[in-house]
Amino acid sequence: MGLGLTGTATARFLLARGARVVASEARPEEALGGAAAALREAGARVETGGHTPGVFDGCETVIVSPGVPPRLDPLERARAAGAAVISEIELASRFLQGRIVGITGSNGKSTVTAMTAAILSESGRRARPCGNIGLPLIAMAGPPSPPIYVKDLGREQPGGGDAPDVVYVAEISSFQLEGIETFRPAAAALLNLSPDHMDRYDSPGAYYAAKARIFMNQTSAETAVLNADDPPTWAIAPTLRSRIVPFSVGGEAGEGVRLRGGALVCARAGAEERLIDASEIPLPGRHNLENAAASAAVALAMGATPDAVRRAVRSFQALPHRLRFVAGVGGADVYDDSKATNVGSTIRAVEAFTRPVVLLLGGRDKGGDFPSLVPRLRGRVRAVVTFGEAGPMIADRLEGALPVIRGGALAEAARAALDAAHPGDVVLLAPACASFDAYANYAARGDDFARIVRERAAAERRP
C-alpha cells in the first residue's frame, strides 16, 4: 500500500523474485510519473486514485509504506483475513545478508545516519547510509545498480549489491517501526524523544513506544545506544535486553561516549580515549555535538576506530536542508533547516545560535505544541514570521508572547523575514511543520526558500 519511493522499490523487489504483486495508491495515476504503468508492465496489478476495500483480498502479506495510516479499512480487512501487515524494513531485514544499524529518534536521525556511515567508511568498512534518508532499505537487497542520487544526502549512493560484509546504516521512523515483527539490528540508536506526529498518535507516550520498538528483538548480543541526557530516552534503558552504550554531552555516560574537558571521549574497559575536540566539529550547536557523540558511539560499537571518528567528523558537511548556510543578505546570515518539521527540532536549531534570530514557522501542522516554544525562544528571536496553512494558527498562539509577523506563502514570509533582520542577525527557516500544504516534501520547500534568498542576495550585489 502506497507507491512513493519506498512502495515502488518494494514492488520492484518482489516482482523480481517472482511474487504476485498487488499495489494500491491513493494519488491519481498522473501524479506517479509513470511508476504505476511500469509496475503493470512488470506484472503487478495496480490501482490508483484510492483504495478499494477488498484490494488485498487473497494476499498473504501486505507491505505498508511509511506515510500510510495503519488502520485504513483495506489493511484492517487484510488483518482480519489473516494476512501479515508489515513494513518495508521488516521485509528487507529478511533478505539482506549484511548487518543493519538502525537510527531513530525525534531529531537528528539523518545527520547521525550519514555521520555514522562516514565513520565506518573511514574505518575501511563498506557502509551504506539508507532507509528513511531517501534510499529505501529494500533497495539495498537487490543486485548492483548504477549509483542513485539521494536528495536527502545531496550526493549519489550505490544501489543494491548486498553482501555479508556490508553495513546498512538505516534511518528509521516510528511509522516504519509500527510494522516490524522480527527486525533485529546489530546496533540501534535512540537519539532523543519529544512529541511529534501528534496528528497520528493518541499521546506522546504512544509515539515514544513506537520508537522503542527498534530494540524489541535485540538480545545481549546486540547494542543499544541511548542518550543519557534525555530523560524519556534514558527511561527505556531498564527495559532492554541489549548491551547498552550511553552517550552524553551534559553529564556522565559510564562506558560510552561523553564530553569531558572540551572533547568527546570514549570510555571502554575502564580506560578513556580522546576522540575529537568539540571545537573541531564543523556543525554548529549543542545538538550537533550530541549527533557527533551518538555517531561515534554507534560506529565504535560496530568496529570503527577512534582515528576514523576524528577524521570523518572533522570533514563532515551539513546535509541539505539541515541547518545549512544559504547566503548573506543585508548583513544577516540565512540558514535553511527545512527538515526541522517538529517543535523540538526548531528549538534545537534556534539554540545553535547566540545571535538574534528571525525565525520562519509554518506549513502543515502535525499537532505541534507551539506555546511550548515561548520560553525557549524569548530573548533569542527578533521576530517570528509565520507562513503557510498553519501560519494563522501559529501566529494566534504566539502573538503577545513573542514578536510575530504574519506572512502568507513562503515567498512572502521569506521576504518579510529578510526585511526584519538586522546586520549580524540570523534568518532561519526551521518551520516546525510538515511541508505538504504547498510542497511535495521538506527538500522542495528548502530549495524554494534558498532560491528566494539567493535571488535577494544577487540583487544586493548588482550595482
Task: Give the pLDDT score at 253.
Answer: 66
- Summarize the confidence of residues 294-322 as an average pLDDT: 96
Give the pLDDT of residue 196: 87
144 — pLDDT class (breaks 50, 70, 90): confident
Please report where in the chains the cell 504512544 appears, as a residue. 206
Nearest to 63 by CA among 140, 102, 8, 105: 8
pLDDT in tens, 399-442: 999 999 999 999 999 999 999 999 999 999 999 999 999 999 99
DSSP letter string over 207-275? HHHHHHGGGTT--TTSEEEEETT-HHHHTTGGG--SEEEEEESSS--SSSEEEETTEEEEEETTEEEEE
Domain boundaries, the chain: 5-82, 90-314, 324-461
Assign 67 a pLDDT band (cuts: 50, 70, 90): confident
pTM, 2 dp = 0.89
Question: Cα separation of 174 and 179, whole Å?
Answer: 9
Residue 12 has pLDDT above 90, yes or no: yes
The mean pLDDT value for 151-171 works out to 91
CATH superfamily of 90-314: Mur-like, catalytic domain (3.40.1190.10)
| Residue 345: closest CA among 374, 322, 317 | 322
Return the beta strands (E) in 74-178 as ranges. 84-87, 99-104, 126-131, 145-150, 155-159, 166-171
Compute the average pLDDT of residues 86-106.
97
For residue 402, give the DSSP letter.
B
Q: Right CATH number for 5-82 from 1.10.3470, 3.30.160, 3.40.50, 2.60.40?
A: 3.40.50
Give the CA count within 13 Å in the CB-facing half-sphere of 131: 31
**Cβ contact 162:178 at 8 Å:** no
Region of 198 please: left (phi>0), alpha (psi -120 to 50) or beta: alpha
Give percent of the chain with pLDDT exceeding 90.
Answer: 89
Which residues, including other chains, have CB under 8 Å from residue 202's CB and lie 6 or more apart?
A: none
pLDDT above 70: residue 364: yes
Average of pLDDT values for 132-158? Answer: 89
Q: Give the architecture-level CATH label for domain 324-461.
A: Alpha-Beta Complex (3.90)
H or E element in which residue 345 lies: helix 343-351
Phi and psi based region of residue 252 (left: phi greater than 0; alpha: psi -120 to 50; beta: remaining): beta
Residue 441 gets the label, from left (phi > 0), alpha (psi -120 to 50) or beta, of beta
Q: Is residue 78 helix, strand or coil?
A: helix
Average pLDDT over residues 293-316: 97
